[in-house]
Amino acid sequence: MTEVTTLNRDVSRSLLHQKHIAVQLNNRMRVYRHYPPQSKDFTNLRTLYSSNSANIESMVSAAKNEVIQYAGLLEGWDEGKGRRFDPILLVAAANIIDAAAEVFEVECVVPTEITPGPVSDGSINIELGYGKKYQILSIHPDSTRISRYWETSIDSGEESFEPTHDALETAIAWLVH
């Protein structure tokens, strides 16, 4: 009988807590309906976000255009040593660039660098920078992992990870956290 009483008490507390949160949210929404944010600060924030977004979009467009050019590089493009780029790698590079743009837009920051780079072994590097942090994400034709080299003003390191969305997002978000 005591287990049922304890369970009922816990459920009641939970329901009261949920009702309290709902009342608080409702009160806040009522305030916003009567006094919508129209301050100069809000307008400046919107302008800053639009400016950041435009800068990021410009960097992303330039980076993706460069990756597209790699499709036209023939065997031997790097003084006779360069391999052709696998179309799957080109798509993966574009996806990494898009993931970086998404992280930077969500964080409302403009990176210092989003630069792809071809490697003669058929790999593609994506160099990303923000503030005093920098990293290179490398995708290789013969691997199912992404290599990551990173550095700050005081430290550096290397690692590799499976190319999942969450792992990629975490690696990129490291730049702004």
pLDDT in tens, 47-94: 555 777 889 999 999 999 999 999 999 999 998 889 999 999 999 999
Lowest-pLDDT choice from 41-45, 124-128, 154-158: 41-45
Each residue's pLDDT tens digit, 26-40: 444 444 444 444 555
For residue 46, name the pLDDT band (cuts at 50, 70, 90): low
**Torsion sign across C-alpha atoms 74, 78, 82, 85:** negative
118: tokens are: 């071809």
Buried b (16+ CB within 10 A) or exposed e, 114-146: bbbebbeebbbbbbbbbeebbbbbbbbeeeeeb
pTM for this entry: 0.73
Tokens matching residue 122: 């058929």
| DSSP bridge pairs for 129 | 113, 134
pLDDT at 52 (0 to 100)? 79
The DSSP symbol for 147 reads E
Find the mean pLDDT for residues 166-171: 95
